[in-house]
Chains A and B, each alone.
Chain A
Amino acid sequence: MHAVVDSLAMIGVSYVMGFLFYGFYRQFNARVQRRWGPTIWQNLFDNMKFFFKSETLIHGPMFFFGPMIIMAGAFTTVLFVPFLKDSDWLQGFSQYGNLILIIYLLVVGPLGNALAVGSSGNPFGVMGVTRGLTRLMGLEVPFFLGLAMVMLQHETASVHAIMAAQDSLAHWGIVTNPIAFCVILLPFIGSQHGAPFDVVGAPVEVYAGPRVEFGGRLLGVLMTQRMMMSIAKLVLLVDLFLGGATNILVLIAKAFSLFLLTTVISMVFPRLKTEQAVDFFWKVPLGLGVLGVILTVWLPSWSA
């Protein structure tokens, strides 16, 4: 019973945080552009509207199951990331999983996306998926290298143990291992579809890319998934680098500060082309990552 309530609470918390964060993003973006912008609830309205629209498209069963696979990936990722430390609540099934499992679950989304878009047969969707998978090549390598560095540093793959090791500000991952944080931060923006790396869903180039065929309810499912997945990744970074959180308010504050950082970065940089993005990922974050691995492995006294 506790597990069921806890899981539902985690899904609810990540959904609410998701639409509020993205609502804030849109308003903040508008203020930077000297507009008033929509209300902070705008993403909730958009999402609910899509859930109550009709869906008349038929592209075979895979077109329907693709979003469900993506959604299942988002739910399981949320449930395997511990939201709080030293607490019985908002844990989900995180004691049965570890960082390596979470890395696997992060790939479920792009897989389902490719399956659904492939069965729709829309050329713009296929273009979007091609761009997405090319970009994935660029961003996954530094992202996983950064996570590997965190695992090496703490000599464990358990998110709980990594959180427990960061008991004070001086032991936060961002202080003890700033290189890993920098290595992860840029691919993290890419995996959130943030602005310098948002070539996949470019609205006027490839007509929303992978989402081109989705309208109505399935688009609502995809929107929900994106918001929840973003929150899961934000919370994961909070767990790994900002020492986790002991209660929900601290969690929101830390996740929000991280979100603000990525938002500000993506607000001031224009969109990169696909090959520029891959080049960038393989030069800057990956170079930094290799340097970090050398420092972590061969000079353990430095990083510890």
Chain B
Amino acid sequence: MYHKTQCEGFQCEQAMLEVPGEAESIRQGVLERLVSWMRHRSLFVLAYGTGCGAIEMRPLMTSRFDAERFGIVGAATPRQADVLIVSGYLALKTLRRVIRSYEQMQEPKYVIALGSCTINGGMYWDSYNTIKQVDRYIPVDIFVNGCMPRPEALIEGFVALQGRIKNGEKGGYHHYREHIDWYKANQRKVLGDQIPPTYTCDWYHAGGVV
């Protein structure tokens, strides 16, 4: 992704990192473009708060940051949500709940992982019962790094996600459908017998995708 061909220096590096990659996008007709335009204006958020991440997520709905101006509002249940925010480290116990919640969400659905703990374990890098990389277990669309990231950074992540939805790029849920066996194997590796029952995910196989 990063080649020193066009320019040099830190700012240039940052600019090139922010260029969207060659993400696979779906060919869209007029109706699909209209729908994805409406979809990007309306994101219902299921906020899974673990530890310090929850503190940075709540102000998003307040008068100071006001995420509702982007059409982002909180959802009451996973069934009504479009975006799952995993806000911080996941212990093995909470990972089960997150997987269950994610599989209950209706498609199209997206995941935002918040904080360094979701990327490489963060300050829990040597903990015995937290997982280090969330995207080995559920597909993450946007990572927002920091420890903890400010609400502005989270809004930035939301805007980036909205841009991807608007352009009709394939969301992480496509990846989850296509690689369900890999994800399930990873989940089984850490959860063992405690893995969520198959009826939460067997409908992924119903369409003959896998």
Is the CB of A203 closer than 8 A to any CB of chain B? yes
Q: Within the assembled complex, what's the spacing in Å between the Cα atoms of A30 and B203? A: 40
Question: Would B106 and A53 count as touching, CB distance under 8 A?
Answer: yes
List the B residue with the shortest CB-CB distance to A57: B79
CB distance from B133 to the nearest CB of A (A): 27
- Chain B residues 3-48 with CB under 8 Å of chain A are 35, 38-39, 41-42, 44
List the A residue with the shortest CB-CB distance to B43: A49
Which chain A residues border B156 with CB–CB below 8 Å? none
CB distance from B36 to the nearest CB of A (A): 9
Is the CB of B63 closer than 8 A to any CB of chain A? yes
Which chain B residues border A213 with CB–CB below 8 Å? 77, 79
Question: Would A203 and B76 count as touching, CB distance under 8 A?
Answer: yes
Q: Within the assembled complex, what's the spacing in Å between the Cα atoms of A48 and B35? A: 7
CB distance from A24 to the nearest CB of B (A): 14
Which chain B residues border A219 with CB–CB below 8 Å? 79-80
Question: Would A212 and B77 count as touching, CB distance under 8 A?
Answer: yes
List the A residue with the shortest CB-CB distance to B44: A46
Is the CB of B105 closer than 8 A to any CB of chain A? yes
22 contacting pairs across A/B (C-beta < 8 A): A30-B68, A30-B69, A35-B66, A35-B69, A38-B68, A38-B69, A42-B41, A44-B38, A45-B38, A46-B71, A48-B38, A49-B35, A53-B82, A53-B108, A207-B76, A207-B77, A208-B80, A211-B80, A212-B77, A213-B79, A214-B80, A216-B79
Tell which of B41, B63, B203 touches A34, judged by Cβ atoms closer than 8 Å.
B63
Q: Within the assembled complex, what's the spacing in Å between the Cα atoms of A42 and B44? A: 12
How many residues of chain A have a CB within 8 Å of chain B? 32
Which residues of chain B have a CB within 8 Å of any CB of chain A?
A: 35, 38-39, 41-42, 44, 63, 66, 68-71, 74, 76-82, 105-108, 203
Q: Within the assembled complex, what's the spacing in Å between the Cα atoms of A34 and B81? A: 26
A-B contact count (CB 8 A): 83
Contact pattern, A 43-64, Cβ under 8 Å of B = 1, otherwise 0 = 0111011001111110000000
CB distance from A258 to the nearest CB of B (A): 25
Question: Would B76 and A42 count as touching, CB distance under 8 A?
Answer: no
Q: Within the assembled complex, what's the spacing in Å between the Cα atoms of A207 and B78? A: 10
Given contacts A38-B71, A42-B42, A49-B42, whether A30 and B79 have CB atoms under 8 Å apart is no
Is the CB of A118 closer than 8 A to any CB of chain B? no
Question: Would B106 and A56 count as touching, CB distance under 8 A?
Answer: yes
Question: Would A26 and B68 count as touching, CB distance under 8 A?
Answer: yes
Please classify the interface of chain A as helix (H, G, I), strand (E, B), loop, or mixed, using the class held by over half of its residues: loop
Q: Which 3 A-B pairs have the closest CB atoms?
A: A215-B79, A208-B76, A216-B106
Q: Within the assembled complex, what's the spacing in Å between the Cα atoms of A204 and B74? A: 10
Which chain B residues border A57 with CB–CB below 8 Å? 79
Is the CB of A168 closer than 8 A to any CB of chain B? no
List the B residue with the shortest CB-CB distance to A48: B38
Q: Within the assembled complex, what's the spacing in Å between the Cα atoms of A219 and B82? A: 13
Is the CB of A33 closer than 8 A to any CB of chain B? yes
Is the CB of A269 closer than 8 A to any CB of chain B? no
Which chain B residues border A26 with CB–CB below 8 Å? 68
Tell which of B38, B66, B69, B78 touches A49, judged by Cβ atoms closer than 8 Å.
B38
Q: Within the assembled complex, what's the spacing in Å between the Cα atoms of A219 and B81? A: 11
Which chain B residues border A54 with CB–CB below 8 Å? 106-108
Q: Within the assembled complex, what's the spacing in Å between the Cα atoms of A42 and B43? A: 11
Which chain A residues border B107 with CB–CB below 8 Å? 53-54, 56
Tell which of A36, A39, A203 touches B74, judged by Cβ atoms closer than 8 Å.
A203
- Chain A residues 1-57 with CB under 8 Å of chain B are 26, 30, 33-39, 42, 44-46, 48-49, 52-57
List the B residue with the shortest CB-CB distance to A58: B203
List the B residue with the shortest CB-CB distance to A212: B77
Q: Within the assembled complex, what's the spacing in Å between the Cα atoms of A37 and B63? A: 9
Which chain A residues border B81 with CB–CB below 8 Å? 215
Question: Would B105 and A215 count as touching, CB distance under 8 A?
Answer: yes
List the A residue with the shortest CB-CB distance to B104: A215
Question: Would A37 and B79 count as touching, CB distance under 8 A?
Answer: no
List the B residue with the shortest CB-CB distance to A46: B42
Question: Would A35 and B42 count as touching, CB distance under 8 A?
Answer: no
Question: Would B77 and A208 count as touching, CB distance under 8 A?
Answer: yes
Q: Within the assembled complex, what's the spacing in Å between the Cα atoms of A164 and B72? A: 46
Contact pattern, A 257-273, Cβ under 8 Å of B = 1, otherwise 0 = 00000000000000000
Which chain A residues border B106 with CB–CB below 8 Å? 53-56, 215-216
- Chain A residues 195-232 with CB under 8 Å of chain B are 203-204, 207-208, 211-216, 219
Question: Would B42 and A45 count as touching, CB distance under 8 A?
Answer: yes
Question: Would B66 and A36 count as touching, CB distance under 8 A?
Answer: yes
List the A residue with the shortest CB-CB distance to B32: A52
Given contacts A42-B42, A207-B76, whether A56 and B66 have CB atoms under 8 Å apart is no
CB distance from B72 to the nearest CB of A (A): 9
